[in-house]
Amino acid sequence: MMVTAPEEATGSSRKMTEEPITVCHLFSGDLWAGAEAVIFNLLTCLRDDPRFKLIAVSLNEGILTERLRREGIATHVIPEDRHSPAGILWRTARLLSGRNVAVLHSHRYKENALAWLLAKWLGVGAVVTTMHGLPEAPTNSGRHARAVRLRTALDFFILKRFFDATVAVSEDMKRVLIGRHGFHPDRVRLVRNGARFPQECASPTPRGEYFHIGTVGRLVMVKGLDLFLDVAAVLKGTEQRVRFSILGEGPLQEQLRQRAIGLEIADCVDFVAPRPDPFPFYRSLDLYLSTSLHEGLPMSVVEAMACGKPVVSTAVGGIPEIVGHGDHGLLVESRDVAPIAESCLRLIRDERLRLAMGERAAAAARDRWNAEVMAEGYRQLYDTCVGVRGLALARRLKTHGRQLVERLERRRALAIRQRPGRLTRALNEARSILILCQGNVIRSVFAAHLLTAALQGKRKIAIRSAGLATQPGWRAHPRVIARGKALNLDISRHVSIAVTQAMVMDADVVLVMDISQLVAVTRYFPRARRRTFLLTALASDVPMDIHDPAGQDDAAVDACLDHVARAMKPLGEILAASRP
């Protein structure tokens, strides 16, 4: 079970007889893509919940508004091509006036600014947004690039300063928002996307006359579809009976068609127009290939998995959180054509493996990434926003309290560094050591293997690692596996484990990576506080906190592993020399 902070509000304990919470969703509605599918899935899940009353406001007519109306959801359009920003604000305020809106939920940067201004105008108590994807990097350095950077800076300023919550759709996105963009951890909530699946598409199928590889997405730069075509060219040169399809539209469509002609694969690549129901397309595939530069938590990958299709993908964004490498498909760390093509060839040539991965992918998607699971996360978020009175005061008190606890834990950690006798005695007597980090894929797994190797069988002691905020089944980071191989340590079979109370209570010594994790252990496992220490406690020559390098480049991961190795050396020496 993942360890997360308890909810601040009573959530589902709200009485059914209370007035329903009115939630207004603001969105652009000009496209039908992943974000629009998520909005549709969420609103249709919440439609029949008596605790909520829904209002949808779109800035454009489109597929989303048509489908919402067919589902009986109150949907209003204020066309942005007919009204100025001030006109949109005035008309939306007039529409919502007197409707007792409790939560404004926006979905992109324009709607974020609109939601903030409406909240001020109408006195709405809570404003939240869903970050469906991180801002795409500008493709040039001219006026357009400066405008994009300014727009993003303004959007993030509004979100950080005035919004009650920003929803990240993946753990990777949450880390980036907090670590790179300075969002306050208390204002970033993780709610992973969820999809709706037709029952008849759950089972993987044997290949037909041609092996069919496809992908779904907007034809834009961030989807990396030039790499998809490069991989197709390599596979076409190796396997004759293979064809490829790209479902979607966008500004790069003609450029991609010309690239296919240049690669001499135009005869086996189809560009398919988007449609509201993509599942017949998924069912036609044998393999789903994603070559994106970055993703939040892509609905297309989830939907393909639900149809029993294994996934070959670049290991970017939230994709490793849904695709287990070797379980539901194959993940590739680089953007080189060769390893991606080799992964595809492996599944083309091994039908038994492909079908087995497809079965596991379908089961995982339907169990973990369905729309109802997502909707429950948003129910809790809305209840929290509405149910906690004096939210701003509570947040300030919580922040000051956390800062006080962190100062106390840092003071305790410094005292142990100066007088390490208690830790040394605990290590000498220990028969079980638990090493914790966040994801259990980089720091703790590497430390546990180093410590086991240092003992060389000289002492019987159980050494385990786990994650404070992980999902069971994640593989170790490739750089960790490579470093372990260089040290004759086999880390390739490691899968992440979420920490449990039993694990903590069974350990004689608990080692964590930084002060924030000392605070977390104190909060969730207070009885283990005196047995919990920083991994660096005995290595006074290294920085005290070993920071999480997740989402950073290989150089940052390598530096982190060096930090861990230096911290582990005195611990290993004490344990190897002692005889409990």
CATH of residue 505: 3.40.50.2300
Domain membership of residue 209 (yes or no) is yes
Domain membership of residue 72 (yes or no) is yes
The pLDDT-based confidence of 48 (bands split at 50, 70, 90) is confident
Q: 217 or 143: whose pLDDT is higher?
A: 217
Tokens of 419: 């007088």
The whole model's pTM is what?
A: 0.59
- What pLDDT is stored for residue 198 in this prediction? 80
- What pLDDT is stored for residue 390 in this prediction? 42
Domain identity same for 428 and 304: no
Domain identity same for 503 and 451: yes
Domain membership of residue 399 (yes or no) is no
Q: Cα 493 from chain centroid?
A: 23
Domain identity same for 29 and 157: yes
Q: What does DSSP assign to residue 5?
A: P
DSSP 349-406: H-HHHHHHHHHHHHHHHHHHSBHHHHHHHHHHHHHHHHH-TTHHHHHHHHHHHHHHHH
- What pLDDT is stored for residue 522 in this prediction? 83
Domain identity same for 85 and 131: yes
pLDDT (tens digit per residue) in 161-177: 999 999 999 888 998 99
Candidates 358, 293, 352; CA nearest to 329 is 358
- What pLDDT is stored for residue 196 in this prediction? 84
Q: Are strands 287-290 and 311-314 parallel, antiparallel or unpaired?
A: parallel
Domain membership of residue 403 (yes or no) is no
DSSP 403-464: HHHHHHHHHHHHHHHHSTHHHHHHHHH-SEEEEEESSSSSHHHHHHHHHHHHHTTSS--EEE
Domain membership of residue 346 (yes or no) is yes
- What pLDDT is stored for residue 1 in this prediction? 32
Domain identity same for 81 and 179: yes
Which of 368, 399, 432 is the last residue before a domain boundary? 368
Instruction: Please give the residue range of the domain that contains residue 88.
Output: 11-195+372-389
In the chain, how many domains are there? 3
Q: Is residue 503 helix, strand or coil? A: helix
Q: 561 or 574: whose pLDDT is higher?
A: 561
Domain membership of residue 2 (yes or no) is no
Domain identity same for 266 and 295: yes
- The greatest distance separating any two alpha carbons of the chain, rounded to the nearest whole angstrom, comes to 80
- What pLDDT is stored for residue 203 in this prediction? 64
